[in-house]
Amino acid sequence: MDTVDEIRDKIRQRFVKVATDPTAPQRHPHGPASAKKLGYDAAEIDALPSVVTESFAGVGNPLVLHPVRPGETVVDIGCGAGVDSILAARRVGPSGRVVGVDVTAEMVEKAKANAVAAGVTNAAFHQGEADRLPVGDGTADVVISNGVFNLCLDKPRVLAEVYRVLRPGGRVQMADILLGEAVSDEQVVQKGAWSD
Ligand SMILES: C[S@@+](CC[C@H](N)C(=O)[O-])C[C@H]1O[C@@H](n2cnc3c(N)ncnc32)[C@H](O)[C@@H]1O
């Protein structure tokens, strides 16, 4: 069985590939076609530069769970190449801001470049872990996350971080994958089964 450090390393390696080689075959759906299937507005996706959407790797659409309003501060945990951050930055407008955090340096660099490509100036991106967010206490109105919680090894600690960074009355808008059936011990120990 993989150690925790080995699993962390494999997660990073997987998303380095999604960031740097988005046309390579991946185990999970990604890119603009996947975003449209998951309920994003097709016109909004098509209007983004293709470099922005090519590394989209979300599993749902956290932005449809509740409107993100002008002036709000949004934290995007596991922001990847920044599609949700960029769409949120447009919704919060010049009086709001978005902070995207991702553990994979290549994703963070791509999100920064993508924000420039999309003409977004109110989003900042930082490399960091979901369980140690580089964000102050009580500073976020909204925490969004898309396809990341399932990859986090210490989920209670991530939830504690979400609670720490949210202001009282703030909200969480999260899309993620859930198991619908039991998993055998053999499947759990199978190499790579942590995220297949
Ligand atoms: C399935 S992708 C989703 C990316 C993005 N949210 C999107 O919708 O395109 C998962 C992302 O989470 C990041 N990630 C994985 N584990 C993380 C952790 N512990 N802390 C922060 N980011 C993490 C990965 O680097 C990857 O960019």
In short, whether 57's Cβ falls inside 6 Å of ligand 1 is yes
Distance CA 194, CA 196 (A): 6
pTM, full prediction: 0.94
Each of the 196 residues of the chain gets a pLDDT tens digit; together they read 678 888 889 889 999 999 999 888 877 788 999 999 999 999 999 999 999 999 999 999 999 999 999 999 999 999 999 999 999 999 999 999 999 999 999 999 999 999 999 999 999 999 999 999 999 999 999 999 999 999 999 999 999 999 999 999 999 999 998 888 887 888 777 655 555 4
**Structural domains of the chain in order of their starting residue, each with its CATH number:** 4-177 (3.40.50.150)
Query: Which of 7, 12, 15 to mutate to test ligand 1, by most ligand atoms within 8 A of the CB atom?
Result: 15
Cα–ligand 1 centroid distance for 87 (angstroms): 17
In short, whether 133's Cβ falls inside 6 Å of ligand 1 is no
- DSSP H or E stretch at residue 44: helix 42-46
Q: Which of 175, 16, 181 is nearest to 84 (CA)?
A: 175
In short, whether 162's Cβ falls inside 6 Å of ligand 1 is no
Cα–ligand 1 centroid distance for 102 (angstroms): 6
Q: Where are the beta strands (DSSP E) in the chain?
A: 73-77, 97-102, 123-127, 140-146, 166-175
* Cα Rg of the chain (Å, integer): 16
Closest Cα to atom 8 of ligand 1 = 58
